[in-house]
Structure 1
C-alpha cells in the first residue's frame, strides 16, 4: 500500500465517515481534512477533528504503518509537535509525543470499502505504457477536456519559468530575450545549446547595429559558433571570414568556448549553416520583431512574420564549398509551428504575465490552429484511444505523460482521480 493512496483517501474522504473511531476506541469526526501542501513537515495542515467530546485543530501525518513515525524520526522533530492525528493503513504499535502523551491513530484499512481497493488495484495494475491505458477511454469527455486545459497551462508555466532565467541574462531586454530563445530553437535539440550560447555572447545592440547587412549577421553567427576558423577557398566563406575578423575587433568580442555544431544525423535542411542563415535573414528583414510578435494573434500573421529564406548562396549549398542541387532554403510552416509552440507562445504568455494581461484564450486559439505534433508519445496515446487534433492537445498530452504518467502521479491526475471516483 503506497502513501499516495492514503493521501488520496484522506484528502477526498473516501472511506466510511459515519462509523469512524480511533485505535483507542474513541469516536472520530472529521470536520476538515486540512490542506495538502506537499511540503516538508506533516502531510495535512490545519485539519479540524473531534475525538470523543474534544475538538482538535492542527496537523495530520499519514504513514503506511504506525511504526513509520519512529522510522522517520518524527519524535525528535519539532515540526511534528502539533500533529493531532496519525492516519495509517496498519497500526502495528503505539506512538507517543515528546511529552509522553499517546498520539491518536486512525487505522484506515478498517474503513475503506473493497470496491475502492479494487479501483486502486485496477488503476495501478501492470502496464505496457501507462497505468490507465485500459481505462482512459472510459473517462468522461468533459472531465478529460478540462484536465487537458489544466495540463496545457501547467506546461506553459513550466516553459515560462525557464524563460525568466534567460531574461535576467539579457538584462531584462525583451528583444534580446526573443533573439536568444529563437536562436536556441533554430538549433533544435542537436545545436540548441550552442546557438543559445552564441546568442547570449553577442550584446543585442550589436545585432541591431549590424542588421542592415545580412552578411554581417551571418559572419557574427558563424564566427561565434566556430564555423569560420577553418581554412577554405570558397569565396563566400572568405568574405564572411573577413567580415568576422573585422566585426569581432570592432565590437571587442572575446572568443567563447562552445560545443562544436553538429551535422551528423541531421537532415540537410536542419544543418546549422542553413538555420543560422535563416536566423540572420529574419533579423535583417524584420526589425522590431518582438513588437510584431506581441501584436500578432493569428497563425496567418505568424506565417507572414517568419516568411524568410536562407541567403541565396545556400540555395545550392548545405555546407561551405560543397555545391548541391539548387533549392530555396525557406522556413517551412512545420518549422514555424515548432517556433510558435516552443518560443513564441511561451514568450507571449510570460510577457502577458509581466504586464498583467490575460491572453489565455488567445493562446489556446492559436495553438488550436496548429496541426498536432508527431512523435512517439502522441502516437502511443492514439493507440490507446486518445487522439490529439491540434498542438494545444498534443502539448497537454506531453505534460500528462512526462509529469504524471512517468512519475506515477496517478492520484494527482484528473484522469486517475476520475477513475478512482467511479
Structure 2
C-alpha cells in the first residue's frame, strides 16, 4: 500500500461513506475532504467533518500506518495542532494530540472496495507495455480522452509559458528580444539549439535591429557570434563578413559564446550556416516581426509570411568552403510548423494573456490546423487508437507520455482515475 493511493482515495471519496465510523465506533460524515496540500504540513487543509453530530473544521493527515505519525515526528510539529482527523490504512497504534486526547481516526481498509484495489494493482503491474493502461483502454469513452487531451495541451502550453515569462522578466518585457531568442533556439534545431540561443541571448536586440538595415551586416553579426568566422577561408564573401564582424566586435564590445555549432549527423539543409542565414534574412525582410506574428491568424497566412530563403551566396553553398548545386533554400512548411509549435504559439499565449485578449477557441484553432508530428511516441499512441489527426493532439500526447505515463502519475491522470473508478 502506498500513501499516494490513500491520498487519491480520500480526495475522490472512493470509499463507502455510509458505513464510516471512527476506530472508537463514532459515526462520521465527510462534508468536505479539504484542499490537497502539496507543501509541508497536513495532507489536506480546511476540511469539514461531522463526527457524532458535531461539525469540525480543520486539517487532515493521511498515513499507511498510524505509527507513521511518530516516524515522521508530527507530535513535535505545531503545523499539526489543528488536526481534526487521522486517516490511515492500518491503525497499529493510538495517536494523541497536544491535549493528550486520542486523535479521531478512521481505517480506510474497511471501507474501500476490493475492486478498486484490484484495478490499482492491474494499472501498476510490472509489464513491458508502452503505457500502464494500454490493455484497459477499451473501458475509456472518447469524451474522456478528448477532454483530457485538451487539458493536457493547455498544461503543455502553460509549462512553455513559464520559460517565456522567465525570458520576459530578464529582458524587462522586451517582447522583440524574447521572440528573437526563441526563434534563434528553434532555428538551431535540437543539435544547435544551445549555441543559437546563446548567440541571441548575448545580443541586445537594439543591435540586431540597427544591423538589420543591411543583410550582410546581419549575417556577419550572427555568423561571428556563432564562432563561424574564426577559420582561414579564402573567398570574398567570407572575408567581407569577417572584416565586418571585427568592426562590430569593437563597436558593440561583443563577446563570443562558449558553445560551438555542430554539423555531425545533420542534413545539409539543416547545417547551422543555412539556418543562421535564413534567420538573418527573416529579420532583414520582416522589420515588424513581433507585431506581425501577433496579428496573423490563419495557418495559410503564416506559411505565406514565412516564405523566406537565404542571401544569394547560400544558394550555391552549404558551407563557406565548398560550392554546391544551386538551390533555393526556403523555409519549408514543416519547419514553419516547428516555429509555430515551439515559439510563436507559446509567445502568443503569453502575450494575449498579458494584454487581456486571450480567447481559447481562436487560440486553439491554429494548433488544431497544424499537421500531426511524427515520432515513435506518437506512433505508439496511434497504434492504441488515440486521436492523432493534428499537432494539437500530438502535443497533448507528448505531454501525457512524458509527464504522466513515464513517471507513472496515473493517479493524477483522467484516464487512470476513470479506470480506478470503473
TM-score by length of 1: 0.97
Name 1:361's counterpart in structure 2: 361
1: distance between equivalents of 2:171 and 2:306? 23
Whether the 8 Å contact between 1:137 and 1:386 is mirrored in structure 2 is: no
Q: How far does the alpha carbon of each residue in 1:141-171 deviate from its partner, in whole angstroms, 9 at most, with x for none?
A: 1111111111101100100110011112323
3-state secondary structure, aligned to 2:403: helix
Q: Which runs of 5+ in 2 are unaligned?
A: none
Contact 1:174 1:290 in 2 (8 A): yes
Contact 2:195 2:257 (8 Å CA) reproduced: no
Which residue of structure 2 lines up, in the alignment, with residue 24 of structure 1? 24
1:34-59 deviations in Å (ceiling 9; x for gaps)? 11132221111111112224321111
Residues 288-311 of structure 1: CA deviation (Å, up to 9, x unaligned): 001110000100111112110122
Q: Following the alignment from structure 2 to structure 1, what is the Cα–Cα distance between the partners of residues 338 and 26?
A: 61
Aligned to 2:198: 197
Equivalence for 2:227? 226
1:87-143 per-position Cα deviation (integer Å, ceiling 9, x unaligned): 111111111123322111111001111222222222222332211111224311111
SS of 2:130's equivalent in the other structure is coil
Question: Is 1:388 equivalent to 2:393 in the alignment?
Answer: no
**Contact 1:169–1:200 (CA under 8 A) maintained in structure 2:** no
> Aligned-pair distance for 1:285?
0.6
Correspondence for 1:320: 320
Alignment partner, residue 400 of structure 1: 400
| Aligned equivalent of 2:253 | 252
Aligned to 1:103: 103
1:32–1:171 CA distance, 2 compared to 1 (3 A)? closer
- In the TM superposition, structure 1's runs of 4+ consecutive aligned residues that sit over 3 Å from their partners are none
Matches for 1:225-374 after TM superposition, within 5 Å: 225-253=226-254, 255-374=255-374
Counterpart in the other structure of 2:62: 62
Alpha-carbon separation, structure 1, partners of 2:300 and 2:139: 37
Alignment correspondent of 2:120: 120
- The Cα shift of 1:217 comes to 0.6
Aligned to 1:134, what secondary structure does the other structure show?
helix
Normalised TM-score (structure 2): 0.97
For residue 384 of structure 1, report the CA deviation from its aligned partner. 2.0
Following superposition, the deviation at residue 258 of structure 1 comes to 2.0
Distance in 2 between residues matched to 1:146 and 1:179, nearest whole Å: 34
The residue number in structure 2 matching 1:131 is 132
- Deviation at 1:9? 1.2
Q: Does 1:213 align with 2:214?
A: yes
Look up the SS of the partner of 1:135 in the other structure.
helix
Conserved in 1, the CA contact under 8 Å of 2:308 and 2:330?
Answer: yes
